[in-house]
Amino acid sequence: KNVPMRRKKALYPLWSKIEGYKGNWQLASKFLDSALIVSDSLSKLDNSLELLRLQQRLAFEESKKQILAAETREKKRKQQILFMIAALVLSTLSGLVIYSQKNKTAKAKKRSDELLLNILPENVAEELKIHGSSEARKFDNVTVLFSDFKDFTKHAESLPATEIVSLLDHSFGAFDQIVTELGLEKIKTVGDAYICVGGLPVEDEYHAEKVVNCALKMQKYMAQH
């Protein structure tokens, strides 16, 4: 009873032959039937084991496919994230470049406008920017102020150049402020000379009064400084 089935499969035919030689045909037939039963059982067992191995193999292959699919999805997700990061970085850099360029352009335009306003009346500068030229105008009634510093050449000979330029810069800065407050138009400076005018580029019936008032304010400033 404790003999393994695979050994029984080999022994039953042998026992059947032995009993046949002895003339025990009934017992020989019994062993032969047992051999067939054991063989059939082992065949079924082998088939079951083969089926189980096949199922395990299929389950392994399916699991392997799922793992590969998950790895592919993860790789694709990482690639998408990297692509989004790269796109964001590129967009940010492009935005910074555009902003920097716009900022430089705006600064250059502001500087250009300031230079134009420094040498031209506002409406003339605006017309020049729009049309590229400015139409000449005639003003019948204007008052021109021309000022220079008394004994400037004498003082300039005894002062360093940097100090002379600094003094002129501060004085002309104060003159600019006075001219702007009174609504006059600065023409230009030449050395220690300062020239401005009242009554243009917009006509003003009080042009003479404003220019005289400007001269008095300039004298007051110089007396205080």
Tell me, letter by letter, the H, E, C secondary structure of 182-220: CCCEEEEEECCEEEEEECCCCCCCCHHHHHHHHHHHHHH
Residues in the chain: 225
- Using an 8 Å Cβ cutoff, are 20 and 12 in contact? no
Q: What is the pLDDT of residue 9?
A: 63
So what's the pLDDT on residue 105?
82
The pLDDT of residue 213 is 97
**Apex 28 CA angle, 31 and 18, nearest 5:** 100
CA atoms within 13 A on the CB side of 8: 17
| Spans of the chain, pLDDT less than 50 | none
Give me the pLDDT at residue 197, please.
95
- pTM across the whole model: 0.49
What pLDDT score does 196 carry? 94
Cβ distance 194 to 176 under 8 Å?
A: no
